[in-house]
Structure 1
C-alpha cells in the first residue's frame, strides 16, 4: 500500500534538458540523463540525487508532452548550450514514494488525483485547450538502477505542487 503525504518543500534547484517527448519514444528522453550527469561532472558540480522528470504540459497520454529531464543540484548552474536550469517552486506538495519503478507510475498518478479530491486538496494545474499545465509535477528516481537492476524494486518520488 502506498502512502500519500502533504509535505512543505523548499525550492529545489536543477539542471536539465527541456523537450517535447512521447511515451512511445521515452528512450529519447532517458538518453539525456547520462548526458546531464556527464556535464555536471565536467563542471565539477555534484548532483544531489537521481534524475527528476518534470511534466509541464500533457493533453492525452498518447500525445507528445512538454517535459524537463533534470538532475537536482545545490545551486542553479549554467552548463551552456543545450542545458536549462531552474528551481522547482517552494510550497506544499502532495507526495507518494511507491516501489515498482516506471511500471507503477500510471496507477500511482490516478491514486494521487483521487486521494487529493477526497482530501479536498487542489493541485496547482491550469486546464487549457492544449492540455493540462502543471505548476510542478515531478517523478524523481530514488533508486540507482546500477545498484538495483530489478525495476520492480525501484522507488520513485511522485510529487504535485498544491495551490
Structure 2
C-alpha cells in the first residue's frame, strides 16, 4: 500500500506545454520535457525541480487525455507561443511519493483513491457526462533519469487537490 499524506501547499508557479494524447502515444508527451527545459534555459530562467505532468481531463485510459507537461519556476515566466504559464493553487493536497517511476504510478493512483475514500476525503474533481476533470492532479519526477538510469529507483510526487 502506498503511503499517503495530506499536505498544505502554497501556490506553485509553472511553465509548460499543453497536449492531448493517449497512453499508447506517451512518447509524444515525454518528448516535450526537454523542450520546456531548453526554452527556460534560453530565456535565462532556472527550473525549481523536475518535470510535472498535470492531468486535466480523461474519459477512459484508452481515450486521449489533456495534459500539461510543465516545470516549476519561482515566478511567472512567458516563453512565447506554444507555452502556457500558471500556478498550482494553494490548498490541501493528498500526496504520495512512491519509488519505481512510471511503473509504480497506476498502483499509486489506485491506492490514493482507496485511501481518500477510506478517510472520507473528497478530491477536487468534476465528473462530467463525457469525462473526468481534475482541478489539480500532478505527477512530478523527483529523480533525474540522466543521473539515475534505474527506473525502479526513481521517486515521483503524486498529488491531488482536495475540496
TM range (shorter): over 0.9
Structure 2: runs of 5 or more not aligned: none
Shift of 1:12: 0.7
CA–CA separation in structure 2 for the residues paired with 1:66 and 1:128 = 15
CA–CA separation in structure 2 for the residues paired with 1:3 and 1:111 = 9
CA–CA separation in structure 1 for the residues paired with 2:17 and 2:92 = 25
**SS at 1:103's partner residue?**
helix
Residue in 2 that maps onto 1:131:
131
**SS at 1:46's partner residue?**
coil
CA–CA separation in structure 2 for the residues paired with 1:131 and 1:50 = 28
What whole-Å deviation, never above 9, does each CA across 1:75-117 have from its counterpart, x for those lacking one?
1111000111000111000000000100110010000000000
Alignment partner of 1:77 is 2:55: no
Structure 1: runs of 5 or more not aligned: none
Aligned-residue CA RMSD (Å) = 0.7
Residue in 1 that maps onto 2:62:
62
Which consecutive segments of 4 or more residues in structure 1 shift more than 6 A?
Answer: none
Paired residue total: 163
CA–CA separation in structure 2 for the residues paired with 1:45 and 1:10 = 21
TM-score where L is the length of structure 1: 0.98
TM-score where L is the length of structure 2: 0.98
CA–CA separation in structure 2 for the residues paired with 1:45 and 1:113 = 36
